[in-house]
Structure 1
Amino acid sequence: MSAQGSTKAEPNGDPGRPQKELSTGLWLLKHTQGIVTTATAIGILHLRTSHVIYFTVGTLATSFTAKGLKRVIKQPRPPGSKVKKTSGMPSTHSSTISFMGTYILLSSLLLPLHPSLHLGSGAAARDNMAHIWIALVGVVAPVLVMWSRVQLGVHTPAQTLVGAALGVVKACLWFTAWNGTQVVFGTSPTIGDATSASVARNGLRTIIGARVDPLIAQTEARVLGAIGR
Protein backbone atom coordinates (compact mmCIF):
# COMPACT_ATOMS: atom_id res chain seq x y z
CA MET A 1 0.00 0.00 0.00
CA SER A 2 1.47 3.38 -1.00
CA ALA A 3 1.69 6.19 1.53
CA GLN A 4 -0.44 9.25 1.00
CA GLY A 5 1.20 12.68 1.14
CA SER A 6 0.09 16.26 0.89
CA THR A 7 0.73 18.15 -2.31
CA LYS A 8 0.94 21.77 -3.37
CA ALA A 9 -1.13 23.47 -6.03
CA GLU A 10 0.39 23.27 -9.52
CA PRO A 11 0.42 26.45 -11.62
CA ASN A 12 -2.09 25.10 -14.13
CA GLY A 13 -4.52 24.16 -11.38
CA ASP A 14 -5.26 20.75 -12.95
CA PRO A 15 -6.24 18.39 -10.12
CA GLY A 16 -5.52 15.40 -12.35
CA ARG A 17 -1.80 16.02 -12.41
CA PRO A 18 0.82 15.63 -9.69
CA GLN A 19 0.94 18.98 -7.97
CA LYS A 20 4.07 20.90 -7.10
CA GLU A 21 5.12 24.06 -5.34
CA LEU A 22 5.21 27.34 -7.24
CA SER A 23 8.61 28.80 -8.08
CA THR A 24 9.54 32.03 -6.31
CA GLY A 25 9.15 34.06 -9.49
CA LEU A 26 5.73 32.65 -10.28
CA TRP A 27 4.62 33.09 -6.67
CA LEU A 28 5.56 36.78 -6.84
CA LEU A 29 3.75 37.19 -10.16
CA LYS A 30 0.70 35.47 -8.68
CA HIS A 31 0.54 38.25 -6.08
CA THR A 32 1.01 41.05 -8.61
CA GLN A 33 -2.08 42.92 -7.43
CA GLY A 34 -0.78 43.43 -3.91
CA ILE A 35 2.74 44.28 -5.08
CA VAL A 36 1.53 46.80 -7.67
CA THR A 37 -0.91 48.38 -5.21
CA THR A 38 1.90 48.86 -2.69
CA ALA A 39 4.24 50.28 -5.35
CA THR A 40 1.55 52.70 -6.54
CA ALA A 41 0.89 53.90 -3.00
CA ILE A 42 4.61 54.51 -2.51
CA GLY A 43 4.72 56.38 -5.83
CA ILE A 44 1.84 58.65 -4.81
CA LEU A 45 3.46 59.44 -1.46
CA HIS A 46 6.87 60.04 -3.04
CA LEU A 47 5.90 62.11 -6.11
CA ARG A 48 2.88 63.91 -4.64
CA THR A 49 1.57 65.34 -7.93
CA SER A 50 -1.79 65.52 -9.67
CA HIS A 51 -0.30 63.50 -12.53
CA VAL A 52 0.38 60.42 -10.41
CA ILE A 53 -3.15 60.67 -8.98
CA TYR A 54 -4.51 60.90 -12.53
CA PHE A 55 -2.45 57.83 -13.45
CA THR A 56 -3.88 55.92 -10.49
CA VAL A 57 -7.45 56.86 -11.44
CA GLY A 58 -6.77 55.59 -14.96
CA THR A 59 -5.45 52.31 -13.58
CA LEU A 60 -8.58 51.81 -11.48
CA ALA A 61 -10.83 52.76 -14.41
CA THR A 62 -9.10 50.17 -16.59
CA SER A 63 -9.59 47.50 -13.94
CA PHE A 64 -13.30 48.32 -13.58
CA THR A 65 -13.72 48.32 -17.37
CA ALA A 66 -12.20 44.84 -17.62
CA LYS A 67 -14.41 43.56 -14.81
CA GLY A 68 -17.47 45.03 -16.52
CA LEU A 69 -16.57 43.37 -19.82
CA LYS A 70 -16.25 40.04 -18.01
CA ARG A 71 -19.87 40.32 -16.91
CA VAL A 72 -20.94 41.01 -20.48
CA ILE A 73 -18.79 38.47 -22.36
CA LYS A 74 -19.04 35.69 -19.74
CA GLN A 75 -16.33 33.53 -21.29
CA PRO A 76 -15.27 30.81 -18.83
CA ARG A 77 -11.75 30.44 -17.52
CA PRO A 78 -9.57 27.50 -18.63
CA PRO A 79 -10.59 23.99 -17.51
CA GLY A 80 -9.23 23.21 -14.05
CA SER A 81 -8.99 26.84 -12.95
CA LYS A 82 -9.61 27.30 -9.23
CA VAL A 83 -11.10 30.75 -9.82
CA LYS A 84 -14.83 30.18 -10.22
CA LYS A 85 -16.49 33.45 -9.15
CA THR A 86 -15.59 35.52 -12.22
CA SER A 87 -15.30 34.91 -15.95
CA GLY A 88 -12.04 34.97 -17.86
CA MET A 89 -12.42 37.39 -20.78
CA PRO A 90 -10.62 39.76 -20.59
CA SER A 91 -7.89 39.26 -17.99
CA THR A 92 -8.14 42.09 -15.45
CA HIS A 93 -4.52 41.64 -14.35
CA SER A 94 -3.35 41.87 -17.97
CA SER A 95 -5.50 44.94 -18.62
CA THR A 96 -4.29 46.78 -15.54
CA ILE A 97 -0.59 45.99 -15.85
CA SER A 98 -0.64 46.75 -19.59
CA PHE A 99 -2.24 50.13 -18.88
CA MET A 100 0.42 50.88 -16.28
CA GLY A 101 3.27 49.59 -18.43
CA THR A 102 2.18 51.49 -21.54
CA TYR A 103 1.62 54.71 -19.60
CA ILE A 104 5.05 54.38 -17.96
CA LEU A 105 6.64 53.64 -21.35
CA LEU A 106 5.04 56.71 -22.96
CA SER A 107 6.06 58.87 -20.00
CA SER A 108 9.64 57.65 -20.28
CA LEU A 109 9.78 58.33 -24.02
CA LEU A 110 7.93 61.65 -24.18
CA LEU A 111 8.24 63.36 -20.79
CA PRO A 112 11.21 64.57 -18.72
CA LEU A 113 12.10 62.78 -15.51
CA HIS A 114 10.33 63.95 -12.38
CA PRO A 115 12.69 66.27 -10.41
CA SER A 116 12.85 63.79 -7.53
CA LEU A 117 14.19 61.14 -9.91
CA HIS A 118 17.07 63.18 -11.35
CA LEU A 119 20.49 61.77 -10.51
CA GLY A 120 22.23 65.07 -9.80
CA SER A 121 23.87 67.83 -11.81
CA GLY A 122 25.86 66.83 -14.87
CA ALA A 123 24.20 63.43 -14.92
CA ALA A 124 22.57 63.57 -18.36
CA ALA A 125 23.93 60.15 -19.30
CA ARG A 126 22.61 58.64 -16.07
CA ASP A 127 19.24 60.31 -16.61
CA ASN A 128 19.11 58.76 -20.07
CA MET A 129 19.90 55.39 -18.54
CA ALA A 130 17.08 55.92 -16.04
CA HIS A 131 14.73 56.60 -18.96
CA ILE A 132 15.81 53.33 -20.58
CA TRP A 133 15.32 51.28 -17.40
CA ILE A 134 11.90 52.81 -16.78
CA ALA A 135 10.90 52.03 -20.37
CA LEU A 136 12.09 48.43 -19.98
CA VAL A 137 9.96 48.02 -16.87
CA GLY A 138 6.98 49.30 -18.86
CA VAL A 139 7.55 46.61 -21.49
CA VAL A 140 8.73 43.62 -19.45
CA ALA A 141 6.27 43.80 -16.53
CA PRO A 142 3.11 43.28 -18.65
CA VAL A 143 4.70 40.40 -20.56
CA LEU A 144 5.68 38.61 -17.34
CA VAL A 145 2.26 39.09 -15.75
CA MET A 146 0.46 37.84 -18.88
CA TRP A 147 2.72 34.79 -18.99
CA SER A 148 2.08 34.09 -15.30
CA ARG A 149 -1.71 34.25 -15.71
CA VAL A 150 -1.51 31.51 -18.33
CA GLN A 151 0.99 29.44 -16.31
CA LEU A 152 -1.21 29.68 -13.22
CA GLY A 153 -4.11 28.30 -15.25
CA VAL A 154 -6.46 31.21 -14.57
CA HIS A 155 -6.57 32.61 -18.12
CA THR A 156 -6.12 31.48 -21.69
CA PRO A 157 -3.57 33.25 -23.93
CA ALA A 158 -6.43 34.91 -25.81
CA GLN A 159 -7.89 36.31 -22.57
CA THR A 160 -4.56 37.86 -21.59
CA LEU A 161 -4.01 39.30 -25.09
CA VAL A 162 -7.44 40.93 -25.18
CA GLY A 163 -6.82 42.28 -21.69
CA ALA A 164 -3.47 43.68 -22.81
CA ALA A 165 -5.05 45.31 -25.86
CA LEU A 166 -7.62 47.00 -23.62
CA GLY A 167 -4.89 48.30 -21.32
CA VAL A 168 -2.70 49.60 -24.16
CA VAL A 169 -5.55 51.46 -25.89
CA LYS A 170 -6.78 52.93 -22.61
CA ALA A 171 -3.26 54.07 -21.67
CA CYS A 172 -2.68 55.79 -25.02
CA LEU A 173 -5.98 57.68 -24.75
CA TRP A 174 -5.45 58.50 -21.06
CA PHE A 175 -1.89 59.73 -21.64
CA THR A 176 -2.93 61.90 -24.59
CA ALA A 177 -5.84 63.38 -22.64
CA TRP A 178 -3.49 64.51 -19.87
CA ASN A 179 -0.48 65.68 -21.90
CA GLY A 180 -2.20 66.91 -25.06
CA THR A 181 -1.67 66.25 -28.75
CA GLN A 182 1.29 68.66 -28.87
CA VAL A 183 3.35 66.36 -26.63
CA VAL A 184 2.19 63.09 -28.18
CA PHE A 185 1.99 63.97 -31.87
CA GLY A 186 3.78 67.31 -32.08
CA THR A 187 0.73 68.87 -33.75
CA SER A 188 -2.30 70.89 -32.78
CA PRO A 189 -5.86 69.69 -33.53
CA THR A 190 -8.07 71.54 -35.98
CA ILE A 191 -11.02 72.38 -33.74
CA GLY A 192 -13.19 75.43 -34.28
CA ASP A 193 -13.67 76.31 -30.61
CA ALA A 194 -10.52 77.97 -29.23
CA THR A 195 -10.96 76.63 -25.69
CA SER A 196 -11.47 73.04 -26.85
CA ALA A 197 -8.48 73.35 -29.18
CA SER A 198 -6.32 74.61 -26.32
CA VAL A 199 -7.32 71.73 -24.02
CA ALA A 200 -6.77 69.16 -26.77
CA ARG A 201 -3.38 70.68 -27.61
CA ASN A 202 -2.08 71.17 -24.08
CA GLY A 203 -4.00 68.45 -22.22
CA LEU A 204 -5.87 68.29 -18.94
CA ARG A 205 -2.64 68.98 -17.07
CA THR A 206 -3.06 72.67 -17.86
CA ILE A 207 -6.45 72.64 -16.12
CA ILE A 208 -6.23 69.98 -13.41
CA GLY A 209 -2.51 70.14 -12.69
CA ALA A 210 -2.47 73.93 -12.44
CA ARG A 211 -5.17 73.80 -9.76
CA VAL A 212 -4.45 70.58 -7.88
CA ASP A 213 -0.65 70.69 -7.60
CA PRO A 214 -0.63 73.94 -5.56
CA LEU A 215 -3.26 72.43 -3.24
CA ILE A 216 -1.09 69.35 -2.77
CA ALA A 217 1.93 71.56 -1.99
CA GLN A 218 -0.08 73.62 0.50
CA THR A 219 -1.43 70.50 2.20
CA GLU A 220 2.06 69.02 2.41
CA ALA A 221 3.41 72.23 3.94
CA ARG A 222 0.64 72.31 6.53
CA VAL A 223 1.16 68.67 7.49
CA LEU A 224 4.92 69.11 7.80
CA GLY A 225 4.37 72.31 9.77
CA ALA A 226 2.00 70.56 12.17
CA ILE A 227 4.47 67.71 12.65
CA GLY A 228 7.30 70.15 13.32
CA ARG A 229 5.46 71.97 16.08
Structure 2
Amino acid sequence: MADDLTPLASLSLTHVHYDPTDRISFLCAWLALVPQGLCVVYATLIWSTREIEIALLFAGQLACEALNFALKRLIKEERPRRMNGKGYGMPSSHAQFVAYFAISMTLFLLVRHRPPSPGVRRRNHTPMTMLERAVWSVACLVMAAAVAWSRIYLNYHTEKQVIVGSIAGAVSAVAWFIITSIIRQTGWLTWAIETPPARWLRVRDLVVEEDPCQAGWEKWDDKMTALKAQQKKKR
Protein backbone atom coordinates (compact mmCIF):
# COMPACT_ATOMS: atom_id res chain seq x y z
CA MET A 1 0.00 0.00 0.00
CA ALA A 2 2.85 2.38 0.84
CA ASP A 3 4.40 1.80 -2.58
CA ASP A 4 1.26 3.19 -4.25
CA LEU A 5 1.48 6.57 -2.52
CA THR A 6 2.14 9.53 -4.84
CA PRO A 7 5.28 11.52 -3.86
CA LEU A 8 4.42 14.91 -2.38
CA ALA A 9 5.75 18.17 -3.77
CA SER A 10 6.83 21.25 -1.84
CA LEU A 11 5.22 24.67 -2.33
CA SER A 12 8.41 26.75 -2.35
CA LEU A 13 6.84 30.22 -2.50
CA THR A 14 8.47 31.20 0.80
CA HIS A 15 11.12 28.47 0.92
CA VAL A 16 14.47 30.25 1.45
CA HIS A 17 17.85 28.57 1.90
CA TYR A 18 20.23 30.21 4.38
CA ASP A 19 23.13 29.35 6.66
CA PRO A 20 21.70 28.77 10.18
CA THR A 21 25.10 29.57 11.74
CA ASP A 22 25.24 33.00 10.08
CA ARG A 23 23.05 35.76 11.56
CA ILE A 24 23.42 37.89 8.43
CA SER A 25 22.27 34.97 6.33
CA PHE A 26 19.24 34.61 8.62
CA LEU A 27 18.42 38.32 8.15
CA CYS A 28 18.77 37.94 4.39
CA ALA A 29 16.31 35.07 4.49
CA TRP A 30 13.73 37.42 6.00
CA LEU A 31 14.56 40.10 3.43
CA ALA A 32 13.78 37.55 0.72
CA LEU A 33 10.16 37.61 1.93
CA VAL A 34 9.74 41.36 1.35
CA PRO A 35 8.10 40.95 -2.12
CA GLN A 36 5.50 38.57 -0.68
CA GLY A 37 4.87 40.99 2.16
CA LEU A 38 4.42 43.86 -0.28
CA CYS A 39 1.86 41.83 -2.23
CA VAL A 40 -0.13 41.43 0.98
CA VAL A 41 0.13 45.18 1.58
CA TYR A 42 -1.06 45.89 -1.97
CA ALA A 43 -4.09 43.62 -1.62
CA THR A 44 -4.98 44.98 1.81
CA LEU A 45 -4.76 48.63 0.77
CA ILE A 46 -6.65 48.11 -2.48
CA TRP A 47 -9.50 46.38 -0.66
CA SER A 48 -9.64 48.76 2.30
CA THR A 49 -9.11 52.11 0.56
CA ARG A 50 -10.39 51.47 -3.00
CA GLU A 51 -7.76 53.98 -4.18
CA ILE A 52 -7.17 53.85 -7.94
CA GLU A 53 -3.57 55.04 -7.53
CA ILE A 54 -2.70 51.99 -5.42
CA ALA A 55 -4.44 49.70 -7.92
CA LEU A 56 -2.46 51.28 -10.76
CA LEU A 57 0.76 50.84 -8.81
CA PHE A 58 -0.03 47.16 -8.33
CA ALA A 59 -0.93 46.74 -12.00
CA GLY A 60 2.47 48.12 -12.92
CA GLN A 61 4.07 45.76 -10.40
CA LEU A 62 2.39 42.79 -12.08
CA ALA A 63 3.52 44.01 -15.49
CA CYS A 64 7.06 44.30 -14.13
CA GLU A 65 6.86 40.69 -12.93
CA ALA A 66 5.62 39.57 -16.36
CA LEU A 67 8.60 41.35 -17.93
CA ASN A 68 10.96 39.54 -15.57
CA PHE A 69 9.34 36.20 -16.47
CA ALA A 70 9.90 36.91 -20.16
CA LEU A 71 13.47 38.18 -19.76
CA LYS A 72 14.56 35.13 -17.78
CA ARG A 73 13.34 32.79 -20.49
CA LEU A 74 14.80 34.94 -23.23
CA ILE A 75 18.27 35.34 -21.69
CA LYS A 76 18.42 31.86 -20.07
CA GLU A 77 21.37 32.63 -17.80
CA GLU A 78 21.97 30.17 -15.00
CA ARG A 79 22.24 31.07 -11.33
CA PRO A 80 25.60 31.08 -9.47
CA ARG A 81 27.53 27.79 -9.43
CA ARG A 82 26.77 27.38 -5.74
CA MET A 83 23.14 27.74 -6.64
CA ASN A 84 20.44 28.09 -3.97
CA GLY A 85 17.43 28.47 -6.25
CA LYS A 86 15.53 26.99 -9.15
CA GLY A 87 15.14 28.36 -12.67
CA TYR A 88 17.11 31.00 -14.52
CA GLY A 89 18.81 33.83 -12.68
CA MET A 90 18.98 36.75 -15.14
CA PRO A 91 17.59 39.17 -14.12
CA SER A 92 16.91 38.83 -10.39
CA SER A 93 13.15 38.92 -9.84
CA HIS A 94 13.55 40.06 -6.22
CA ALA A 95 15.79 42.97 -7.22
CA GLN A 96 13.45 43.95 -10.06
CA PHE A 97 10.38 43.76 -7.82
CA VAL A 98 11.71 45.96 -5.02
CA ALA A 99 13.40 48.39 -7.42
CA TYR A 100 10.07 48.98 -9.16
CA PHE A 101 8.32 49.50 -5.83
CA ALA A 102 10.97 51.84 -4.39
CA ILE A 103 11.27 54.02 -7.49
CA SER A 104 7.48 54.13 -7.91
CA MET A 105 7.00 55.23 -4.30
CA THR A 106 9.72 57.85 -4.66
CA LEU A 107 8.12 59.26 -7.82
CA PHE A 108 4.72 59.30 -6.17
CA LEU A 109 5.84 60.95 -2.93
CA LEU A 110 8.12 63.55 -4.49
CA VAL A 111 6.39 64.26 -7.82
CA ARG A 112 2.76 63.14 -7.98
CA HIS A 113 1.64 63.66 -4.40
CA ARG A 114 0.32 67.21 -4.04
CA PRO A 115 -0.97 67.91 -0.50
CA PRO A 116 -3.17 70.98 0.06
CA SER A 117 -1.38 74.29 0.41
CA PRO A 118 -1.32 75.92 3.89
CA GLY A 119 -4.06 78.36 2.89
CA VAL A 120 -6.61 75.64 2.11
CA ARG A 121 -5.77 73.01 4.71
CA ARG A 122 -8.62 71.67 6.79
CA ARG A 123 -8.70 71.74 10.57
CA ASN A 124 -8.10 68.00 10.99
CA HIS A 125 -5.77 67.40 8.07
CA THR A 126 -2.00 67.44 8.64
CA PRO A 127 -0.29 66.45 5.38
CA MET A 128 3.26 65.13 5.17
CA THR A 129 5.94 67.71 4.60
CA MET A 130 8.44 67.42 1.75
CA LEU A 131 11.09 66.39 4.26
CA GLU A 132 8.89 63.56 5.57
CA ARG A 133 8.18 62.40 2.04
CA ALA A 134 11.89 62.49 1.24
CA VAL A 135 12.66 60.40 4.34
CA TRP A 136 10.09 57.78 3.33
CA SER A 137 11.51 57.73 -0.19
CA VAL A 138 15.01 57.11 1.12
CA ALA A 139 13.66 54.36 3.38
CA CYS A 140 12.09 52.63 0.36
CA LEU A 141 15.33 52.88 -1.61
CA VAL A 142 17.38 51.52 1.29
CA MET A 143 14.95 48.63 1.67
CA ALA A 144 15.24 47.83 -2.03
CA ALA A 145 19.04 47.93 -1.86
CA ALA A 146 19.03 45.61 1.16
CA VAL A 147 16.79 43.05 -0.55
CA ALA A 148 18.88 43.15 -3.73
CA TRP A 149 22.12 42.70 -1.76
CA SER A 150 20.61 39.79 0.18
CA ARG A 151 20.13 37.85 -3.06
CA ILE A 152 23.88 37.98 -3.66
CA TYR A 153 24.73 37.10 -0.07
CA LEU A 154 22.45 34.05 -0.17
CA ASN A 155 23.99 32.93 -3.50
CA TYR A 156 20.71 33.08 -5.36
CA HIS A 157 22.10 35.55 -7.92
CA THR A 158 25.32 37.05 -9.21
CA GLU A 159 26.10 40.76 -8.91
CA LYS A 160 25.33 41.23 -12.61
CA GLN A 161 21.93 39.54 -12.31
CA VAL A 162 20.98 41.77 -9.38
CA ILE A 163 22.17 44.95 -11.11
CA VAL A 164 20.26 44.12 -14.30
CA GLY A 165 17.17 43.28 -12.25
CA SER A 166 17.39 46.60 -10.39
CA ILE A 167 17.78 48.51 -13.66
CA ALA A 168 14.84 46.68 -15.22
CA GLY A 169 12.68 47.46 -12.18
CA ALA A 170 13.69 51.13 -12.15
CA VAL A 171 13.05 51.55 -15.89
CA SER A 172 9.67 49.81 -15.50
CA ALA A 173 8.73 52.18 -12.68
CA VAL A 174 9.64 55.30 -14.67
CA ALA A 175 7.86 54.02 -17.77
CA TRP A 176 4.70 53.15 -15.82
CA PHE A 177 4.77 56.53 -14.06
CA ILE A 178 4.85 58.27 -17.45
CA ILE A 179 2.02 56.09 -18.78
CA THR A 180 -0.20 56.72 -15.77
CA SER A 181 0.58 60.44 -15.93
CA ILE A 182 -0.65 60.50 -19.53
CA ILE A 183 -3.78 58.58 -18.52
CA ARG A 184 -4.43 61.17 -15.83
CA GLN A 185 -3.76 64.20 -18.04
CA THR A 186 -5.94 62.97 -20.90
CA GLY A 187 -8.92 62.40 -18.59
CA TRP A 188 -9.14 58.65 -19.10
CA LEU A 189 -8.65 57.98 -15.40
CA THR A 190 -11.48 60.31 -14.41
CA TRP A 191 -13.71 58.65 -16.98
CA ALA A 192 -12.84 55.18 -15.67
CA ILE A 193 -13.61 56.13 -12.06
CA GLU A 194 -17.05 57.44 -13.08
CA THR A 195 -18.11 54.23 -14.83
CA PRO A 196 -20.87 52.22 -13.08
CA PRO A 197 -18.61 49.29 -12.09
CA ALA A 198 -16.06 51.66 -10.53
CA ARG A 199 -18.75 53.55 -8.65
CA TRP A 200 -20.27 50.29 -7.43
CA LEU A 201 -16.83 49.28 -6.11
CA ARG A 202 -16.46 52.73 -4.46
CA VAL A 203 -13.24 53.47 -6.39
CA ARG A 204 -11.73 56.86 -5.53
CA ASP A 205 -8.70 59.00 -6.27
CA LEU A 206 -7.89 60.88 -3.07
CA VAL A 207 -4.46 59.57 -2.10
CA VAL A 208 -2.78 61.98 -4.50
CA GLU A 209 -3.81 64.80 -2.16
CA GLU A 210 -4.25 63.20 1.24
CA ASP A 211 -3.39 60.23 3.42
CA PRO A 212 -5.51 57.09 2.74
CA CYS A 213 -6.87 57.14 6.31
CA GLN A 214 -7.77 60.84 6.17
CA ALA A 215 -11.45 60.44 5.26
CA GLY A 216 -12.12 58.08 8.16
CA TRP A 217 -10.11 60.24 10.53
CA GLU A 218 -12.09 63.35 9.61
CA LYS A 219 -15.38 61.60 10.39
CA TRP A 220 -14.01 60.43 13.74
CA ASP A 221 -12.53 63.81 14.60
CA ASP A 222 -15.77 65.61 13.68
CA LYS A 223 -17.75 63.15 15.82
CA MET A 224 -15.47 63.68 18.83
CA THR A 225 -15.54 67.47 18.36
CA ALA A 226 -19.36 67.42 18.32
CA LEU A 227 -19.43 65.15 21.39
CA LYS A 228 -17.15 67.52 23.33
CA ALA A 229 -19.34 70.46 22.33
CA GLN A 230 -22.43 68.65 23.65
CA GLN A 231 -20.70 67.89 26.95
CA LYS A 232 -19.78 71.54 27.39
CA LYS A 233 -23.41 72.60 26.86
CA LYS A 234 -24.59 70.18 29.58
CA ARG A 235 -22.23 71.68 32.15
1:169 is aligned, of 165, 168, 171, to 171
- Residues 120 and 78 of structure 1: is their aligned pair in 2 closer, same or farther, counting only changes over 3 Å? farther
Is the counterpart of residue 97 in structure 1 residue 98 in structure 2? Answer: yes
Q: Which runs of 5+ in 1 are unaligned?
A: 1-8, 12-18, 181-198, 219-229
Q: Give the alignment partner of residue 58 of structure 1, picking from 57, 60, 85.
A: 60
2 CA distance for matches of 1:114 and 1:38? 27
Quickly say closer, same or farther: Cα 1:73–1:137, change in 2 above 3 A: same
Alignment counterpart, residue 199 of structure 2, candidates 204, 214, 217: 214
Is 1:134 matched up with 2:141? no
Residue equivalent to 1:192: none
Which amino acid letter does the alignment assign opposite residue 103 of structure 2? T
Please give the alpha-carbon distance, in whole angstroms, between the structure 2 residues aligned to 1:119 and 1:130: 19
| SS of match in other structure, 2:36 | helix
Q: Which moved more, 1:32-41 or 1:62-71?
A: 32-41
Partner of 2:31: 29
- SS across alignment from 2:201: helix
- The verdict on how the C-alpha distance between 1:205 and 1:134 changes in structure 2, with shifts beyond 3 A counting, is farther
Indicate if the aligned counterparts of 1:32 and 1:145 stay in contact, CA closer than 8 A: yes
Contact 2:28 2:147 in 1 (8 A): no
Q: How far does residue 55 in structure 1 lie from its aligned partner after superposition?
A: 1.1
TM-score when normalising by structure 2: 0.66
Q: Which segment is superposed worse, 208-217 or 137-146?
A: 208-217
Q: How has the CA–CA distance of structure 1 residues 41 and 130 changed in structure 2, closer, same or farther, with 3 Å as cutoff?
A: farther
- Runs of at least 4 residues of structure 1 off by over 4 A? none
- Rate the CA distance shift 1:158–1:41 in 2: closer, same or farther, 3 A: same
Q: CA deviation at 1:127?
A: 3.7
Report if the CA contact (8 A) 1:89-1:163 is conserved: yes
Structure 2 counterpart SS, 1:39? helix
SS in structure 2 at match of 1:217: coil
Write the distance in 1 (CA, Å) between the matches of 2:47 and 2:115: 14
Aligned to 1:123: 126
Write the letter of the residue equivalent to 2:102: G
Deviations 1:172-194 (A, max 9, x none): 111111123xxxxxxxxxxxxxx
- Whether the 8 Å CA contact 1:75–1:88 is kept in 2: the answer is yes
Residues 188-228 of structure 1 deviation map (CA, whole Å, 9 limit, x = unaligned) = xxxxxxxxxxx58446533434446533218xxxxxxxxxx
1:90: how far off?
0.5
What one-letter code is carried by the residue in structure 1 that aligns with 2:107?
L
Identity %: 23
**Cross-structure match for 1:71:** 73
Q: Deviations over 1:24-51 (max 9, x none)?
A: 5323102223222222222223331222
